[in-house]
Structure 1
Amino acid sequence: MSESRPIRIVEPYAHTRHVKIPTSFQGVPLIDFLSERYPYRSRAYWAERVQAGDVRIEGSDMSHPEDVFKRASAVTFFTPRVVEPTVPDEVRIVGEGEGWVAVEKPAPMPVHPGGRYFKNTCLAITEELLGQKIYPVHRLDAVTSGLVVFATDDRMASTMTQALSEGRVEKEYRAHVFGRVEDDEQIIDQPIRRKSGFVFESVPLEVTAQEAADTEPTIESSKSKGRGNLKQAQTLIRVLERGQDSSLVQCIPLTGRTHQIRLHCQAMGHPILEDPIYGPDGDASGKTLQNGAIRLQHAAMRWPTLGISLRLDPPSGWKV
């Protein structure tokens, strides 16, 4: 992280957390789940944590690495000394009204607690700024900067969540991508699924059609295609400014999938600058930690039924 940016540091602390197990892992040994879901740690590391009693299947006093998940399983993680990575100390409030508040989130910084972050999150920092409990209503990647809206009461949280689920919220992103994008406007229509750990993949429609034609795939072939189910994903991309080596584009997600903008810029043939996973030299193995900022900004958000309209200025350092 740049030395010129203010950073936030929290003191180490003990922490216990609980993680629900997706149904796709039922019947899978604990060690296989840990290795696949958190591939940035070695299999030997997870085996040692389980044998030490720090990681166990919920409901048991002690687990073995080869214990198999049963229906409705969860995992308990205990860490005696959490040392959170630092984050930019730059969260600022950019709008607020009855039942809601909007902030500009810097990157890298997660919105929600999880992984290596519990106190250095946009949620926790915004609660400190306001001095009250708030409710997250949408996601934003840790490596993406820009608008994050929180509800300040449970009634508004329900209203906002419902509006999002019904597609009544408009979002707009700005991205700085590799290369000269020639098409003024295009729609990328490629379904998305989880590939491994925190890495996802978009799949061309012709490939998904071929997979649908396959009958009775084996367990091994299913694993090779990723554990997640394919979900429809569409993004409208418009060119804002062209250069010889890079372009600025506006991205409007017509669906809301994890890593959608990043994956669809990659599918367009113009990945986002500084993306360690989906960039030209990205590592899609899931073993690379995403601990830097990429050139992607959540730039605008409109909730027409609530009369909320928010927009951020473009980042000053993005030049084509």
Structure 2
Amino acid sequence: MVSSDPLKNYKSFVPSNFHSYPLIEYLKARFPYHNEEDWISLVENQNVLINGNSSSPDLILKTGDEISYSPKPDSIREPAINRDYHVLAEKENFLVVNKPPNIPVHPAGRYRTNTLLNLLEHDRKTKFYPVHRLDRETSGIILFAKTAEFRLVLQKLFEERLIRKEYLTFVYGRFPETLVSEGYMGKDPNSSIRKKQSLRKESLGEDKLTFTEFSLLSYDPKKNISVLLVKPHTGRIHQIRATLLGEGFPVVGDKLYGKRETAFLDFIQMGESDLLNEELGHNRQCLHAYSLSFVDPTTGETNNFHCPLSFDLCRLIANIPSEYVT
């Protein structure tokens, strides 16, 4: 769809792996929502500036160069999103939101204005500050601070592990009643996909410790799907999904950590398809952020927030415990 909302200006800084790249190659690689012809036109029309100055498509970039981009109205064709978010609670300094699946929290890739942050700010006519993130496909509870200062307060709680999180997820296989998974997590050395992580028992050098608890809630023998309550005690990228794959229980619908890694590449190249969804078991990764609990250090108030399982996941199997559905 074409967004009709006002487009913001965006800035990025050239990372070291793009040092000595021509500007046009950098733009094509990092921002695929325009083709080469469109980017050349935008550069020549000074919609793209380098360190505040006009440039040319063949300019050679250096690490740390600032790229600023001023989109033209209706110039970015963004994918459709699920706009059905709900505010679960509002406090003096923060907002608790039920994020639906298929909407990114922040601008990324082809999504510039079609984000949860932009929807909130548009609907409420004020600025918000995301405290943490959920993947585009993940549904559930997420925090937004009302000021930059309080975002730092909440982020410190996350860093000190003073915010307790619980997730619900659906995996293939008969899961044990309980499982505590400890190990190291880092880039998957056997994957061609740069962002993919993997769980291992011994560190490869730059890996980080990871610790996750799992409890079985129900199992459907006909579909061979288990529903789990998950308590991550560390906050690693893709921690839950990578841990479950490493333990032998891939998340239903997961393109990257599912039954077949190349499903992710199929999705990138060809988009969503009924055939791919049927193979993976669902049209998105079946992961839901269920609860957040913490003490507000500025008021002393204990906060316990819960977010019922999203409707699309409620239909996967019949015997999900009722307390997680309503």
State TM-score, norm by structure 1. Answer: 0.76
1:172-191 CA-partner distances (Å, limit 9, x unpaired): 11101112113522214231
Per the alignment, residue 288 of structure 2 pairs with 297
Residue 130 and residue 41 in structure 1: after superposition, are their counterparts in 2 closer, same or farther (change >3 A)? closer
Per the alignment, residue 288 of structure 1 pairs with 268
CA–CA distance in 2 between the matches of 1:30 and 1:192? 31
Per the alignment, residue 200 of structure 1 pairs with 196
Superposition deviation, residue 286 in structure 1? 8.9
Residue 193 and residue 30 in structure 1: after superposition, are their counterparts in 2 closer, same or farther (change >3 A)? farther
Q: Please tell me whether the aligned partners of residues 166 and 289 of structure 2 are also in contact (alpha carbons under 8 angstroms).
A: yes
Superposition deviation, residue 265 in structure 1? 1.7
CA–CA distance in 2 between the matches of 1:196 and 1:32? 21
Residue 137 and residue 271 in structure 1: after superposition, are their counterparts in 2 closer, same or farther (change >3 A)? same
Alignment of 1:117-128 (within 5 A): 117-128=111-122
CA–CA distance in 2 between the matches of 1:64 and 1:196? 30
CA–CA distance in 1 between the matches of 2:254 and 2:93? 35
* Aligned partner of residue 149 in structure 2, secondary structure: helix
* Aligned partner of residue 209 in structure 2, secondary structure: coil
* Aligned partner of residue 171 in structure 1, secondary structure: strand
Superposition deviation, residue 99 in structure 1? 0.8
Per the alignment, residue 216 of structure 1 pairs with none
Per the alignment, residue 276 of structure 2 pairs with none
1:17-71 CA-partner distances (Å, limit 9, x unpaired): 2222344554666677667656x789xx55x56544546754553355682433x
Q: Please tell me whether the aligned partners of residues 292 and 304 of structure 2 are also in contact (alpha carbons under 8 angstroms).
A: yes
Structure 2 residue corresponding to 1:165, chosen from 129, 152, 159: 159
Per the alignment, residue 65 of structure 2 pairs with 73
* Aligned partner of residue 309 in structure 1, secondary structure: strand
Structure 1 unaligned residues grouped into runs of 5+:
1-7, 213-228
1:127-149 CA-partner distances (Å, limit 9, x unpaired): 23433211111111111000011
1:178 and 2:155 aligned: no
Structure 2 residue corresponding to 1:248, chosen from 221, 227, 231: 227
Per the alignment, residue 153 of structure 1 pairs with 147
1:90-139 CA-partner distances (Å, limit 9, x unpaired): 11111111211111010100111222223321112222343321111111
CA–CA distance in 2 between the matches of 1:282 and 1:188? 23
Structure 2 residue corresponding to 1:236, chosen from 194, 209, 213: 213
**Letter in structure 2 aligned against 1:318:** L
CA–CA distance in 2 between the matches of 1:82 and 1:173? 34
Structure 1 residue corresponding to 2:4, chosen from 4, 11, 15: 11
CA–CA distance in 1 between the matches of 2:293 and 2:127? 23
Structure 2 unaligned residues grouped into runs of 5+:
273-282, 319-326
Residue 68 and residue 231 in structure 1: after superposition, are their counterparts in 2 closer, same or farther (change >3 A)? farther
CA RMSD, 1 decimal: 3.3
State TM-score, norm by structure 2. Answer: 0.75
Alignment of 1:1-320 (within 5 A): 10-11=3-4, 16-23=9-16, 25-26=18-19, 45=35, 48=37, 51-52=40-41, 54=43, 57-59=50-52, 61-64=54-57, 67-70=60-63, 72-77=64-69, 79-80=71-72, 81-182=75-176, 184-193=178-187, 199-206=195-202, 208-209=203-204, 212=205, 230-244=207-221, 245-283=224-262, 284-285=264-265, 288=268, 293-306=284-297, 307-315=302-310, 316-319=314-317
Q: Please tell me whether the aligned partners of residues 302 and 309 of structure 1 are also in contact (alpha carbons under 8 angstroms).
A: yes
CA–CA distance in 2 between the matches of 1:33 and 1:9? 24
Q: Per chain length, whose mean CA-contact separation is higher, i.e. which structure has more relative contact order (CA < 8 Å, sep 6+)?
A: 1
Identity %: 25
